Amino acid sequence: MALKVYADRISPPSRAILIFCNHAILIYLSCAFPGVANHWYPGDLFKRAKIHSILDWHHSNLRRGSAGLSFNTIVAPLKGLPSYAQVTKESEQLQSEEDGHRILGPYKKVLQWMEDTKSATAPHFDEVHGVLFKSQKGIREWMATQSGKTELKSKMVNGIDFEEIRVDILKNQQYSPEYKAINPMYQVPAIADGRFKLFESHAILIYISCAFPGVASHWYPSDLSKRAKIHSVLDWHHSNLRRGAAGLVFNTLLAPIKGLPLNPQAAKESEQILIRSLSKLENFWLKDGRFLVGSSQPSIADLSLVCELMQLELLSEEDRHRILSPYKKVLQWMEDTKSATAPHFDEVHRVLFKAQKGIRERMPTQSGKPELKSKM
């Protein structure tokens, strides 16, 4: 039976490349079809881990930047949604080809690499993007008529011998030259396994599961379709649950640590993303089993997503309860994941609970307030 591919090449325009940018599908296709040349997703563990690392990085960086820009400049007005003033400024400039050039122009290597990738995948690349190019003209004309009108408005529980090196991000230790050599993106977590260095938490979890034979198979089952489902939920996590939870905590509590003002508007938007994500977790991802994607035992996806939700401990008890309490399955799944990884779970989150105490002591009472307010 022929493989069916569901993709919307028309609306919104940015999704014309859906088939190229869905990581879980790409990995599945590379593994499931023997005809796929090895270079697309090499069998070598280290090469694979580096590919996972850049794919994960992509979600919160390149994709967030370019999809955010095209959403706020093109898609939001098409969908009748408000977009943001800051990004709209960019959009006005993006209406011309010269301004598209302004963004990409300085990056010669990037431009060359785009050309090389196009050539390596010709003629399919242009075929897949045909609809995008067709809609480009219409969209630019449409945007011109709209301008002015649119108000822009692990630790794994598997006995792996490891050394933990604390990088205190509250003290900006991620910017030290020593750490830059480990992760040039200046973020935690990262690992070094001998000379092999890796960043991005999902890529790290996959690497650890594959590189250490002692890791129980339920964390990252070898079955291709189970793996593909785990990749799928991990990919979903980046742009949904993480965006909501991390955005909420950052904009209500942590921004001042970075020298930025608290942003109640951004916090409100993040909270909406978080609520939508919790609802998807409750009604979709957890619908078939105790753990994610219908599993009876936890996988690396449960670890990653439950840890994401743990940062909500930093909010006031009242806000945390208001946000999480409607999601009974989610709460049970968090408890189940904690129990399945005890005593490591609490040990790993000890720093968080310590920070929680200090932060809560400084919080004003939230009672009676319908929305989260700045708390520092």
- The yes or no reply on residue 169 touching ligand GSH (CB under 6 A) is yes
Note the maximum CA span of the chain: 62
Which one of 48, 56, 333, 334 is in contact with ligand GSH (CB under 6 A)? 56
How big is the CA angle at 266 (ends 258 and 13), to the nearest 5 degrees? 115
**Quick one: 169 or 331, whose CB is closer to ligand GSH?**
169
- b/e 170-206 (16+ beta carbons within 10 angstroms → b): eeeebeeeebeebbeebbbebbeeeeebbbbbbbbbb
Strands (E), 108-230: 190-193, 196-199
Helices 317-324 and 264-280 pack at an angle, to 10 degrees, of 40
CB of 13 to ligand GSH, least distance (A): 26
Which one of 29, 188, 210, 352 is in contact with ligand GSH (CB under 6 A)? 188
**Quick one: 133 or 353, whose CB is closer to ligand GSH?**
353
- The yes or no reply on residue 174 touching ligand GSH (CB under 6 A) is yes
> Contacts with ligand GSH: how many residues (CB under 6 A)?
10
Which one of 14, 60, 239, 263 is in contact with ligand GSH (CB under 6 A)? 60
Token readout for 35 is 């005809």
**Quick one: 66 or 112, whose CB is closer to ligand GSH?**
66
**Quick one: 56 or 235, whose CB is closer to ligand GSH?**
56
Question: Do residues 84 and 152 lie in contact, with contact meaning Cβ atoms separated by under 8 Å?
Answer: yes
**Quick one: 91 or 209, whose CB is closer to ligand GSH?**
209
Which one of 200, 235, 271, 308 is in contact with ligand GSH (CB under 6 A)? 200
- The yes or no reply on residue 173 touching ligand GSH (CB under 6 A) is no
CB of 311 to ligand GSH, least distance (A): 8
- The yes or no reply on residue 201 touching ligand GSH (CB under 6 A) is yes
| Cis before 106 (ω within 30) | no
How far is 309 from 246, CA to CA, in rounded Å? 9
Q: Is 151 exposed, middle or buried (0-12, 13-18, 19+ CB in 10 A)?
A: exposed
- If you ran DSSP here, which 8-state letter would residue 295 be given? B
**Quick one: 91 or 238, whose CB is closer to ligand GSH?**
238
Binding site for ligand GSH (CB under 6 A): 56, 60, 169, 174, 186-189, 200-201
